[in-house]
Each structure stands twice: as structure tokens, then as C-alpha cells.
């Protein structure tokens, strides 16, 4: 979807807002079936897909800031597992109106940012990123895995350091 929006915006700058609005609306409407599935019995599906700790963390997030807990993941590009948050919104019984508004707002920010970057740098930036991922997928995955390992080690060390203190 990102490449399509970027291509349309680059070809017709005057309709930037229209393309961003349509992509955001399409994303929000496309999330409705998953919301229905989650609402009707998604807790079992969600618990199968993620750990209990992560389930409880998402639940606490939705209890505190329901709208933001769905909007922020909606702003992030792939590979963020956005469907888990959509399922979570349904499982934790987020109001349908707020659900649609949060997804629309998050995707609007995402597609608007993408469109502005495309206009600033040209469509080559989208092509470049796609090429980097396609041709160098193992390097990209290696860097991502290394980053996750460093982050987990840092987190483990921080927790362990706090446990040793009186």
C-alpha cells in the first residue's frame, strides 16, 4: 500500500490529501472484519499468538489509553504486527467508533509522512527501500535480529542489576 500511495502522490501532487485520506479510510474499513472476529471470540486467537506477558501488557495499554494504544501502532510501517493490536482492540471491547477513528488517524499520519517524504526525496526513496529489502533481505534481517538481541541483553542486564540492589 505504501508504494501505491507514494506513486500516486508523486504523479499528482495536487491530490496528495485525497490519496492520503483514501488510503487511510481503506485501511480503517479493511480492519473491520478482523475487529468482528476479535469481538466474537478473538481472545483465544490472541492468546495463541502472543505470550501471556505481552497479552497483559497490551491489555493494560488499552485500559489506560485506548485510542493511543491503537493509533501509535497504526502509524508504524511494516513489519510492526498491527493485526495483533486490532484484535486486542476488539477483545478489550474498544468502542467501534473510537476503533475506526484511531486506525484512520494512525494511518493518516503514516501515509501523510510517506507522501511528504516521497515529494521531498522523490519516488526513488520508496524504490530504494524496496530494493534494499529485496536484494539484501538477509543483511536487513541480520541487522534487525542483532538490534533485538542487543536490546534484550540491555533489558535483561538492567532488570538483573535492579534485582541485586537491596
80 and 159 in a single domain? The answer is no
Same domain (yes/no): 86, 153: no
Number of domains in the chain: 2
Are 149 and 98 contained in the same domain? no
Mean pLDDT, rounded, for 52-71 = 84
Task: Judge if 47 and 91 occupy the same domain.
Answer: yes
Kindly state whether residue 129 falls inside one of the protein's structural domains. no
Is 12 found in the same domain as 63?
yes
**Residue 131 maps to a domain:** no
Residue 33 domain-assigned?
yes
Q: Same structural domain for residues 15 and 54?
A: yes
CA distance linking residue 122 with residue 116, whole number of Å: 9
So what's the pLDDT on residue 32? Answer: 94
Asked whether residue 134 carries a pLDDT value surpassing 70, the answer given is no
Percent of the chain whose pLDDT exceeds 90: 25
> Domain check: are 94 and 42 in the same one?
yes
Q: Kindly state whether residues 57 and 81 are assigned to the same domain.
A: yes
Task: Quote the CA–CA distance of 104 and 74 in Å, as a whole number.
Answer: 8
The number of beta carbons lying within 10 Å of the beta carbon of residue 111 is 24
The domain containing residue 160 runs over which residues? 136-166
Q: How confident is the model at residue 50 (pLDDT cuts 50, 70, 90)?
A: confident
107 and 66: one domain? yes
Query: Is residue 28, in this structure, part of any structural domain at all?
Result: yes
Same domain, 87 and 6: yes
A 10 A CB-CB count for 10 gives 16
pTM of structure: 0.68
Same domain, 149 and 91: no
Q: Pick 117 or 161 by higher pLDDT.
A: 117
Amino acid at each position: 500500500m505504501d508504494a501505491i500511495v507514494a506513486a500516486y502522490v508523486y504523479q499528482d501532487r495536487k491530490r496528495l490529501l485525497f490519496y492520503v485520506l483514501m488510503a487511510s479510510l481503506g485501511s480503517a474499513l479493511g480492519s473491520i472484519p478482523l475487529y468482528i472476529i476479535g469481538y466474537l471470540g478473538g481472545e483465544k486467537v490472541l492468546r495463541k499468538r502472543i505470550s501471556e506477558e505481552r497479552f497483559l501488557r497490551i491489555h493494560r495499554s488499552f485500559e489506560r489509553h485506548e485510542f493511543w494504544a491503537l493509533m501509535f501502532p497504526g502509524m508504524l510501517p511494516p513489519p510492526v504486527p498491527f493485526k495483533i493490536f486490532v484484535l486486542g482492540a476488539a477483545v478489550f471491547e474498544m468502542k467501534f467508533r473510537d476503533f475506526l477513528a484511531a486506525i484512520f488517524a494512525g494511518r493518516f499520519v503514516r501515509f501523510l509522512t510517506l507522501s511528504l517524504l516521497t515529494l521531498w526525496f522523490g519516488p526513488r526513496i520508496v524504490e530504494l527501500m524496496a530494493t534494499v529489502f529485496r536484494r539484501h533481505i538477509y543483511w536487513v534481517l541480520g541487522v534487525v535480529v542483532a538490534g533485538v538481541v542487543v536490546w534484550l541483553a540491555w533489558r535483561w542486564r538492567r532488570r538483573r542489576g535492579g534485582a541485586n540492589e537491596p
